[in-house]
Chains A and B, each alone.
Chain A
Amino acid sequence: MHDPMHDPMALDDDELPPAFRKRRGGVGGGRVWLWVTAAAALFGAILAGVSTADFISHLDRQVHSIHCSFIPGAGAQLGDSGCRTVMMSPYSSLFRDSMWGGLPISVLALAVFAYLVYRAVDLALAEDVDKRHTVFLLAATALPVLMSVIYGYISMSVIGTVCKVCAGIYVCSGVLLVGAFLSHRNAGQPTQWAHGGMGGTYARWFGEGVAYVGLLTVLYIGLAPVSEKSLEGCGTLVTTEDKSNVMIEMGTRGGDKAIAVLDPLCPACKGFDNRMEASGLMKKLDLDVVLFPLDSKCNWMVKESLHPGACLVSQAMLCDKDAAPKILAWAFEHQQELLEAAKKDENNVKRRLREEFPSVASCVGTAKAKNKVNKSLRWAVKNALPVLTPQLFVNGKRVCDEDTDLGLEFTVTKMLEGGRR
């Protein structure tokens, strides 16, 4: 049942009382802006869809290319990109401790944009639209704008990179707001008969929006694939014994013992470290690091140096274990330039280390330092670890490689819960 006094759009002209027919308000020049709003919402929905599809594709725990372009569906990349960094950051989804990968923000964005498409098209097709209707649309478009501002800020100031798909969504949100504003400005005033309150209509429209978000959320959570393997882990350590004193304490004070196997010049380790830091997991773990440089200069298990210079940085960390967390942070920060410098001449890295950390100057390059790194590699041999980095062990149980990115928080949280049972 529709009440024309409250919602005249719900009725055809011939259904209205004759006295109302020729006095209905109109959107006038605002209609074109409603279509602009609808188009912006549609474009935003497509971009949010692309982002959601990329996120969901990773729920199979494998590595996939990620679309990173302003053009929806274009620019799929397998390697590092701003979009990958953003997606792997803890800000890309909610409730990461409770479900593998969490609930992606892009799903919520998809629902909101889909709703705005529906609402804008419905208004654009309606014969009578006045400011009472367009004001709702204007208010609704404030949500994606607000989220864009928040996420744009996080992206720039916390994550330090911008994802092109996200930037596209921010632009769409801006256009949405402008379109909704101009629609509202050009909309007619309510007609004489339409003086009734819009509270019920607003509540219904708001409810529809909530239903859109709720439905997609429930669908996502209900269908997200679950892997028992993530909880069981991928193997256990043969020994956590450290006779050769190669483990480096990272200064974390959490209760549960964890060991990270890292290469200081491995980009994946840098990303892993960032994720660990941002996720707050560091506070829950008593973390030690074992160095496993993938550099053939010291590591006989790799045929060529994947990360030249990593042996030297590892030597420096083992030379002064108190300074090791600082050396690691420095190596991660200057990773690319150190790799480039080592490709030209390893002595460049040695020089940089000596300049930055005078406490290791007389130690790096000595037989004793080389021996220490060798002992670290031998710890990996004793445990028959896979020749890859990073690796994380929680209470002796190895976190599967596929769980060290999107599923990190969920997997580690569940492992910690399991360990306490």
Chain B
Amino acid sequence: MNPAMRTLGLAVLGIVVPAVCVVVWMGRAEKEMLAANDATADVALASASEDDYCSPRLKKVLRRVAGACGLIDGAGRGCKPGDAKNVAALSGTDFNTLFVPLSHRASIVQFDAEQVELDERAKSLVESAWSEQRGASFFFVVARASPDGNASYNQQLSQQRAEAVLNHLDQRFQDPDLRGSVGLLWLGEEYAQLDKEFCDWRRSREGDCTTKDINRSAFVAWIDCQI
């Protein structure tokens, strides 16, 4: 073969082979790029949690209570017994039953008779419960009083207990979202008294627990429902 032709042939072959490869690879990449779906389309988006116990009935009650008690608009004014009973539209027993699935999330902060101060263990329990927010949107504080004394006094007592929990959280965490997340209900002795079974729940005091003891309390729990 003519050396010049051989050289030319080799030179062309030498560049054509890699050039064709590049063209083919590029074509394939462009085709796949156009065909590819949005890479984030199948990725879940960050959202508040919605646990299995969030039955439509629970959510309905929560929505009504949260709305009526000023939680949804962030005012956090709280609900007194009459309000809670009316908006929940449930018997006291049914109201308590709704919260049974929250046993793993709830804590019961106990108080001495006629007292509204949180002791050290109560403070620690409230802090621990608050720090376990995870994806929950609302923190309910449902305070009660035992049926000793008159109803009006007990209503006031339970209100102060609920507020003691809120104030402690405020002081401890200085969380700007706190007022918009915490729903206060004070039920006094008039509505949804806890029965003795609640003594088995996580609470701030060990040892003996009577029905009166368990109602001198504030029930605190994060609610993992999007209401």
Contact = CB atoms under 8 A, between A and B. Distances in A.
B215 to A, nearest CB: 26
Interface in B2-33: 2-4, 6-7, 10-11, 13-15, 17-19, 21-23, 25-33
A234 interface: yes
A60 B30 contact: yes
B127 interface: yes
B122 to A, nearest CB: 14
Interface in A7-44: 9-12
B29 A386 contact: no
A111 B45 CA distance: 45
Contact of B46 (A9, A117, A219, A386): A386
Contact of A215 (B10, B19, B32, B177): B19
A60 to B, nearest CB: 4
A78 interface: no
A402 B175 CA distance: 36
B133 interface: yes
A216 B6 contact: no
B14 A114 contact: yes
A301 B33 CA distance: 30
Given A60-B29, A60-B36, A401-B39, A118 B13 contact: yes
B57 interface: no
Interface residues of B, number: 51
Given A114-B17, A212-B14, A301-B46, A367 B22 contact: no
Nearest to A220: B22
Contacts of B19: 215-216, 219
B22 A300 contact: no
Contacts of A388: 40, 43
A53 B39 contact: no
B36 A387 contact: no
B29 A57 contact: yes
Interface in B105-162: 127-128, 130-135
Contacts of B55: none
B46 A381 contact: yes
Interface string A351-387: 0000000000000001110110011011011011111
Nearest to A298: B134
Contacts of B22: 52, 56, 107, 110, 216, 219-220, 223
B43 A386 contact: yes
Contact of A370 (B33, B132, B172): B132
A385 B45 contact: yes
B32 A62 contact: yes
Given A114-B18, A386-B45, A52 B25 contact: yes
B26 A223 contact: yes
Main secondary structure of the interface of B (DSSP, over half): helix
A61 B36 contact: yes
A6 to B, nearest CB: 14
A400 B132 CA distance: 33
Nearest to B7: A122
Interface in A49-71: 49, 52-53, 56-62
A393 interface: no
B18 A110 contact: yes
Nearest to B37: A62
A376 B32 CA distance: 36
A212 B38 CA distance: 37
Contacts of A49: 18, 21
Interface in B146-205: 172-173, 175-177
B18 A2 contact: no
A59 B45 contact: no
Given A10-B7, A244-B175, A371-B130, A61 B39 contact: yes
A367 B130 contact: yes
A114 B15 contact: yes
Given A52-B25, A223-B26, A12 B3 contact: yes
B48 interface: yes
A244 B176 CA distance: 7
Interface in A321-367: 366-367
A327 to B, nearest CB: 20
A126 interface: yes
Interface in A286-305: 292, 298, 300-301
Given A122-B10, A220-B26, A368-B172, A384 B39 contact: no
18 contacts: A12-B2, A57-B25, A59-B26, A60-B31, A60-B36, A111-B15, A118-B14, A127-B3, A215-B15, A227-B33, A301-B44, A367-B130, A371-B175, A377-B135, A384-B46, A387-B44, A388-B40, A401-B39
Given A2-B4, A11-B3, 12 more contacts: A52-B25, A53-B21, A58-B29, A62-B32, A111-B15, A115-B15, A125-B6, A215-B19, A300-B224, A301-B135, A386-B46, A387-B45
Interface of A: 2, 9-12, 45, 49, 52-53, 56-62, 107, 110-111, 114-115, 117-118, 121-122, 125-127, 208, 211-212, 215-216, 219-220, 223-225, 227, 234, 243-244, 292, 298, 300-301, 366-368, 370-371, 374-375, 377-378, 380-381, 383-388, 400-402
